[in-house]
Amino acid sequence: MSPARMSRLEAAIRVVLEFNEAFNRHDVAGMMRLVSDDCIFESSGPAPDGTVCLGKEAIAQFWQDFFCESPHAHNEIEEIFSFGFRCVMRWRYDWMDTAGISRHVRGVDIFQVKDGSICEKLSYIKG
């Protein structure tokens, strides 16, 4: 593999890792610095197709609402890899329900990264 191709793959993973770190800090502004203005985000719910958010403003509002509803939200990366402009992250999402009981689900996000920004994030959960 050429050094230029390896560098591009590593760059995509770095952007996604930084996005996940901001997610775990509940840092919506930090997350939005890593997405393109025209980013497409498809959440995992509601089933079966999730919600589609287009652009930074809609995506930022989604995450602000999400963290208000789930103040203990945390993503643990189980595996991450990239190929071309795509990056795939397998994760475990942990939160606390309204009764104070720890819960979790596992899933996958498929990212598209171009020019150092996430331009697409598609989320899927095991059901």
pLDDT in tens, 75-106: 999 999 998 889 999 999 999 999 999 999 99
Q: For the structural domain made of 3-125, what CATH number should be given?
A: 3.10.450.50
- CA–CA separation, 19 vs 38, rounded Å? 17
Enumerate the domain spans of the chain: 3-125
E-strand stretches of the chain: 35-42, 52-54, 74-83, 86-96, 102-114, 117-125
Tell me the whole-structure pTM to 2 decimals: 0.91
CB burial class (10 A; 0-12, 13-18, 19+) of residue 27? middle
- pLDDT at residue 93 in the model: 97
CB half-sphere exposure, 36, CA atoms < 13 A: 16
Model pLDDT for residues 68-77, shown as the tens digit of each residue = 999 999 999 9
Query: Which DSSP letter does residue 97 get?
Result: -
- CA–CA separation, 51 vs 56, rounded Å? 15
Distances (CA, A) of 82 to 15, 35, 104, 111: 11, 17, 25, 9
The distance of Cα 24 from the centroid of its chain, to the nearest Å, equals 10
